[in-house]
Structure 1
Amino acid sequence: MKDFSSLKQALKLADIGLETSPLAPNTKIPLIPLSQGGHGYKNSTSDKAILNKMFSNCPQANLCLRLDTSHLIMVDVDLHTKEANGKETLLKLAKQNMVLPSNGYVESTPHNGLHYYFKVDVPVHDIQQAFGKNSGIEIHTLSSSIYPSEIDGKQYEPLDGHTLEDVKPVPKWLLDYINQQAQTKKPFITARYRDKLYTGKLLDEFVNGASSGNRNAFLTRIAGKMFAVGAEADTVYNMLLVINKNFLTPPLMEREINIIFESILRRDSQPQFNF
Structure 2
Amino acid sequence: MKKFSSLKQALKLADIGLETSPLAPNSKIPLIPLSQGGHGYKNSTSDKAILSKIFSNCPQANLCLRLDTSHLIMVDVDLHTEQANGFKTLTELNKKGMKLPDDTYIESTPHNGLHYYFKAEVPIHDISKAFSENSGVEIHTRFSSVYPSEIDGKQYEPLDGRTFADIKPAPQWLVNYIVNYDDNTKKPNLASVPTGKKWTGKLLDSMIETTPKSFRNEHLLRLGGSMVHVGANSDTVFTLISFINKNFCEPPLSQKEVNTILISILQRELRKQGVLNGKQS
TM value normalised by structure 2? 0.81
**Structure 1 counterpart of 2:98, one-letter code:** M
Q: CA deviation at 1:222?
A: 4.0
**Local SS of the residue matching 2:65:** strand
Q: State which structure, 1 or 2, has the greater radius of gyration over its C-alpha atoms.
A: 2
**Distance change in 2, residues 1:179/1:28 (3 Å):** same
Q: Offset of 1:26 from its aligned partner? A: 1.5
1:41-63 residue CA offsets vs partner (Å, 9 max, x unmatched): 12211121121112121111111
Instruction: Give the 3 Å change call, closer, same or farther, for CA 186–10 of structure 1 in structure 2.
Output: closer
Partner of 2:62: 62
Unaligned runs of 5+ in 1: 271-275
Q: Distance in 2 between matches of 1:47 and 1:218?
A: 29
Deviation at 1:66, TM superposition (A): 0.8
What is the CA distance between 1:182 and its match in structure 2?
4.7
Q: Which residue of 2 aligns with 1:168?
A: 168
Distance 1:158 1:52 in 2: 23
Deviation (angstroms), 1:170: 0.7
- Which blocks of at least 5 consecutive residues in structure 2 are unaligned? 268-281
Q: Quote the sequence identity (%).
A: 63
State the SS of the aligned residue for 2:49.
helix
For the residues of structure 2 that align with 1:110 and 1:16, how far apart are their CA atoms?
26
Sort the Cα spacing of 1:183 and 1:79 in 2 relative to 1 into closer, same or farther, 3 A.
Answer: closer
Secondary structure at the residue paired with 2:180? helix
CA contact (8 A) 1:75 1:137 kept: yes
CA contact (8 A) 1:22 1:63 kept: yes
Figure out how many residues of one structure are paired with residues of the other and give that number.
Answer: 262
CA distance in 2, matches of 1:18, 1:32: 20
Taking the aligned partners of 1:5 and 1:54, their CA distance within structure 2 comes to 13
Partner of 1:145: 145
DSSP 3-state at the match of 1:128: coil
Offset of residue 118 of structure 1: 0.6
TM, length-normalised to structure 1: 0.82
Counterparts of 1:1-275 in structure 2, within 5 Å, are: 1-2=1-2, 5-182=5-182, 188-210=189-211, 214-215=212-213, 217-228=214-225, 229-230=227-228, 231=232, 235=236, 239=240, 242-243=243-244, 246-247=247-248, 252=252, 256-269=253-266
Asked if the contact 1:219/1:260 (under 8 Å) is kept, the reply is no
